[in-house]
A and B are shown apart, each in its own frame.
Chain A
Amino acid sequence: MNKQWFKVIAGVLGLSMVLVACGGAKEEKKTAGEGQQKEELPMVELVWNFPLSAIPQDLDTVQEAVNKITKGKINATVKLKAHTFADYNQKMNTVVASGESYDIAWTANWNWDYLQNQSKGAFLELDDLLNSNAPGLLKSMPEFVWDAAKIQGKVYGVPNYQTVTKREGFIIQKRFADKYSLDVSSIKKLEDIEPFLKQIKEGESAEIVPFLNDKYGRFNIMPQSLGMEAITANNIIGVDLKNPETPINLYETEQYKHYLDTMRNWYTKGYINENAATLKNKNDIIQTGNAAVQFHNVLKPGGEVEAKAANGGNDVIYVPLTEPYASTGTVITTMQAINKNSKNPERAMMFINLLNTDKELYNTISFGVEGKHYTKVSDNVIQVNKDGGYAPNAGWVFGNTFNGYLVEGVDPAVLEETKKANESATKSPLMGFKFDSTPVMAEIANLATVIDQYLPALETGTWDPNEKLKEFQDKLKQAGTDKVMDELAKQIKAWKQTK
């Protein structure tokens, strides 16, 4: 009896192992010839994975139009595989693990992590390909953008060049600013807005929220205005920009205490929405047009137009507190990488090159087909047809956004201003550094639990920081902040040496 059972189990296990092994075996990468001429290129099909807010209904028409262009230029067709942002991570992990073939995939530091997947060996090293197959691409972006994309000195992903800066400050509804004749130039730091909040609280109906906050707090998006840069997940550990080699616990700084006191003060005075500590999706409130003042970290040129739509059609003004700032994190928010097992890496690189340098291709993939998905208002300005079945409204997923048409209503000067902001931005002293959290994974997870427990109520002013801040800091310490700081210091040191 026992023997029989053993045989059955052994058989089942053996069979499953064979199945796994078969599936895992991948075709060997072919070494392809270099320096081929365009005419000699054999026809290939590339597969490109990327995420969007929603999968467009009319992707087929766009794919056809894209292929018409690529066939003529690099004799390749492209299969567009669109996913949603929420599914993307899981889907791509499965694709990579199962060895399913694809050529190009979108990656970033906030979705399907660039660093993590590179260390798993998912991406092809691109430096040689860039030099030989993408002549225009290298020059199309400033040097520091390429620096930010480097992992241990090598490029594994091509950034989609767009706004690479952050600028922190207030988004204020114009109607209130006008009504109370707000002097914008008087606002230099967070607490300068307080008199205005007071006016709104006293002068407007109860449904208007003077200062909108949600459960994620605002502190994590204002390190720059406080002279710091956050590095680890959950923004626990970062550096003081004056001394960028020594990691600090952001939640133990003077600035944090000051932020909490300000929030507590505003909360008790009723300037902050009462449900802030439990509010997950603040967009529902913003949409009603009831949020008078918000703090945001990406006040980019021309953003007021987008913000108007998001604020229920109310005009807004931007009041920045900082100058544009660029760091690794602001650059690698959207990139294209090539699959290590791609059968046609050269062609994939040529395609990425086109995406970033060919206006016709970029506009087709970003806006669809003229007449069907958009109409031209003038030479460079278009109007998007919302019912056309293709309106991804996210050109930054695809390539260099500076090649794109302007959507009607956006100030034509925006592109120039963005470019200028990118080039003139203050660069982080840690540009290019990426923190690998694998050695301290357990600590990071523990810290996340503590954060979940304390942060929402503390950062919205719901709790009195005098009572709870100490407790929060102690818990963080217990969960292992010291170990994370040590690891970070070690990695910064190692990174400095590779520079």
Chain B
Amino acid sequence: MPTSQVAINKKTANRFIESKQSRWSSRIINLFFCLLSILFIIPLLLVISISFTDEKTLLQSGYQLIPEKFSLAAYSLIFDSPGVLLNAYGITILVTVIGTVIGLFLTSLTAYTISRKDYRYRKIMTFFVFFTTLFSGGLVPFYIMVTQYLHLKDTIGALIVPYLLSPFFILVMKGFMDKIPLEVIESAKMDGASEWRIFFTMVIPLSLPAMVTIGLFISFQYWNDWWLGLLFIDNQNLIPLQLMLYRVMSTIEYLSNNLSSVNVSIDMTQFPSLSTRMAMAVLAAGPMMLVFPFFQKYFISGLTVGSVKG
């Protein structure tokens, strides 16, 4: 997530500089980060602008930041038969919402458990979690696990279950929860609160920044995913949005690389035009780009605390 990291760096850098260094150097650094931000934003703007450009102008005069000839053709083409797109949108939203809620719940539960200093096996448990970040079973065992043991092939579960618990998110959240003093929990216990009550009424509110940050990360992971769909979904009604986009893009790329020396015929005109592809990209990325700024303020406390503790 480069944009969020830049955002964090920028803010922390600014604070540091304002208090300790002269204005002159802070201006240079500000300027540097402004330029850097622009560099990040330009490609995005370009994609949006291409999606609004007339196809013919696009092919003749290339990419331009301000469309030479404005056109809504790409979008109208997509919304002419919106059924497939809307269905994919629905799947993606469903998966993102369910996945984020359950994923966040499980992540925080696990992180909380292994952050409790009075839990006897916390070191071993932490190692278990950590171990999976170092070694994975690989693609084939993963595939076998999901299809032949969990029987999730061609179900919506295949899009949700594999991302429910990510060791990295657990460790980041554990880092945050480590800071909650054990005394607070103990005193609540003395007052007669059950473990669940402590978790829901004390731990979760106390770690709100971490919850929001991790929650957003989890939702990004679900929103941007095409990989699980590619592996496990054959039913066309369960295809998520990003997979739809990915398939168009990757097939065009693959065919233009491979087709010239093969004597089979594939009609390349049946693929959506460049501006239509970009319009699809904008539609696919749009909602998350809008959501992002609202959560940004939580990132500073949510993430830095996690990273300090490792």
Which residues of A does B touch, CB under 8 Å?
Answer: 4-5, 8-9, 12, 16, 19-20, 23-24, 53-55, 57, 59, 81, 84-87, 90-91, 94, 97-100, 108, 110-111, 162-166, 207, 216, 220-221, 235, 280-285, 287-288, 290, 296-298, 300, 303, 306, 309-310, 330, 333-334, 387, 391, 393-394, 396
CB within 8 A of B267: which of A23, A85, A306?
A306
Which of B250, B251, B264, B268 is close to A310, meaning CB atoms less than 8 Å apart? B268
Specify the chain B residue showing the minimal Cβ separation from A216: B260
Measuring CB to CB, which residues of chain B are less than 8 angstroms from any residue of chain A?
56, 59-60, 81, 84, 124, 127-128, 131, 137, 139-141, 143-145, 147-149, 230-231, 234, 236, 247-248, 250-258, 260-271, 273-274
Quick one: which of B56, B144, B231, B264 contacts A396, CB cutoff 8 A?
Answer: B264
Query: In the complex, A195 Cα to B53 Cα: how many Å?
Result: 37
Q: Kindly report which residue of chain B lies nearest to residue A313, judged by CB atoms.
A: B269
Known contacts being A283-B268, A330-B263, A333-B263, is A94 close to B250, with CB within 8 Å?
no
22 A–B contacts, CB within 8 A, in A order? A8-B124, A8-B128, A12-B131, A16-B137, A19-B137, A19-B149, A20-B137, A53-B251, A53-B255, A53-B266, A84-B251, A85-B254, A86-B251, A87-B230, A87-B250, A94-B231, A97-B139, A111-B258, A164-B263, A281-B253, A284-B274, A306-B265
Complex: A298 Cα to B137 Cα, angstroms: 44
Q: Are B124 and A297 in contact (CB under 8 A)?
A: no
CA distance A297 to B263 in the complex (A): 8
Query: Whole-angstrom distance from the CB of A38 to the nearest CB of chain B?
Result: 31
Shortest distance between the CB of A70 and any CB in chain B (Å) = 20
A19-B141, A54-B251, A287-B59 known; A59+B264 contact, CB < 8 A: no
Interface centre among A9, A23, A108, A296 (most CB of B within 10 A): A23
Alpha-carbon gap, A87 to B234, bound state (A):
12
When C-beta atoms are compared, the residue in chain B nearest to A88 turns out to be B254
When distances are taken between beta carbons in the complex, the residues of chain B under 8 Å from A23 are 140-141, 144-145, 148-149
Q: Which residues of A contact B263 (CB under 8 A)?
A: 163-166, 297-298, 300, 330, 333
- Complexed CA–CA distance, A283 and B273 (Å): 10
Contact of A280 among B81, B139, B256 (CB under 8 A): B256
**A residues less than 8 Å from B59 (CB atoms):** 284-285, 287-288
Contact B265 A396 (CB under 8 A): yes
Whether A334 lies near B264 (C-beta < 8 A) is yes
Which of A81, A84, A280 is the one whose CB lies under 8 Å from B250? A84
Given known A8-B128, A20-B137, A91-B230, contact A86–B250 (CB-CB < 8 A): yes
- Complex contacts, A98 vs chain B, CB 8 Å: 140, 143-144, 147-148
CA–CA, A285 and B58, complex, Å: 10
B194 to chain A, nearest CB (A): 31
Which residues on the B side are within 8 Å of A290 (C-beta)? 60
Nearest-neighbour CB distance to chain B for A112, whole angstroms, equals 12
Nearest residue, chain A, Cβ from B141: A20
Assess whether B270 is in contact with A393, with CB atoms less than 8 Å apart.
yes
Interface centre among B131, B148, B260 (most CB of A within 10 A): B260
**How far does the alpha carbon of A228 sit from the alpha carbon of B110 in the complex, in Å?**
65
A84 touches B131 (CB 8 A): no
| B-chain residues with CB within 8 Å of residue A84 when the two chains form the complex | 247, 250-251
10 more contacts with CB within 8 A, not counting A97-B140, A334-B264, are: A8-B128, A19-B137, A19-B144, A19-B149, A59-B236, A90-B230, A284-B59, A284-B274, A387-B81, A393-B270
**Contact present for B274 and A81 (CB under 8 Å):** no
Q: A311 to nearest B CB, angstroms?
A: 9
- A207, B57: Cα distance in complex, Å: 11
**Contact between A54 and B247, CB atoms less than 8 A apart:** yes
A67 to chain B, nearest CB (A): 17
Which residues of chain B are near A54, meaning CB under 8 Å?
247-248, 251, 270-271
Contact, CB under 8 Å: B270 / A110: no
Residues of chain B contacted by A8 (CB below 8 angstroms): 124, 127-128
Contact across chains for A16 and B141 when beta carbons are under 8 A apart: yes
| B163 → A minimal CB distance (Å) | 18
Q: What's the nearest-Cβ distance from chain A to residue B251, in Å?
A: 4
A60-B274 Cα distance, complex, nearest whole Å:
30
* Complex contacts, A387 vs chain B, CB 8 Å: 81
Measured in the bound complex, the distance between the Cα atoms of B253 and A303 in whole Å is 23
Contact A207 B60 (CB under 8 A): yes
A59 contact set on B, CB distance < 8 A? 236
In order of increasing CB-CB distance, the 9 nearest A-B pairs are: A23-B144, A86-B254, A86-B250, A298-B263, A97-B140, A86-B251, A281-B256, A283-B268, A288-B59
Closest to A16 in B: B137
B137:A85 contact, CB within 8 angstroms? no
CA of A285 to CA of B256, assembled, Å = 13
Q: Which residue of B lies closest to A394 (CB)?
A: B266
Chain B residues with CB under 8 A of A90: 230
- Minimum CB–CB distance from B125 to chain A (whole Å) comes to 10
Determine the chain A residues whose CB is within 8 A of the CB of B261 once the complex forms. Answer: 110, 220-221, 235, 297
Residues of A within 8 A of B267 (CB): 53, 306, 309-310, 393
Q: How many angstroms from the CA of A84 to the CA of B262 in the assembled complex?
A: 17
Q: How far is the CA of A216 from the CA of B269 in the complex (A)?
A: 20
| In-complex Cβ contact of B256 among A16, A20, A283, A391 (8 A) | A283
Q: How far is the CB of A90 from chain B (nearest CB, A)?
A: 8
Give bound CA distance, A20 to B141, whole Å.
6
Report the separation of the CA atoms of residues A442 and B206 in the bound assembly, to the nearest whole angstrom: 55
A288 touches B137 (CB 8 A): no
Task: State the CA gap A162–B247 with chains docked (Å).
Answer: 27
> Shortest distance in angstroms between B89's beta carbon and chain A's nearest beta carbon?
16
User: Measured between C-beta atoms, what is the minimum distance from B66 to chain A in Å?
Assistant: 21
| Complex-state Cα separation, A87 to B268, whole angstroms | 17
Which B residues are in CB contact (< 8 Å) with A162? Answer: 264
Cβ–Cβ contact A81 & B145, under 8 A: no
* C-alpha spacing A394/B251, complex, angstroms: 15
Provide the bound-state CA to CA distance between A333 and B231, in Å. Answer: 25
**A282 neighbours in B (Cβ, 8 Å):** 256
User: Least Cβ distance of B91 to chain A in Å?
Assistant: 15
Q: How far is the CB of B131 from chain A (nearest CB, A)?
A: 7
| Complex-state Cα separation, A220 to B261, whole angstroms | 8
A160 nearest in chain B by CB position: B264
Cα-based distance from A455 to B165 in the complex (angstroms): 46
Q: What is the distance, in angstroms, from A357's C-beta to the closest C-beta of chain B?
A: 21
Query: Residues of A contacting B260 with CB < 8 Å?
Result: 216, 220-221, 296-297
Q: With A and B bound together, what is the CA distance between A20 and B148 in angstroms? A: 11
Task: Report chain B residues within 8 Å CB of A220.
Answer: 260-261
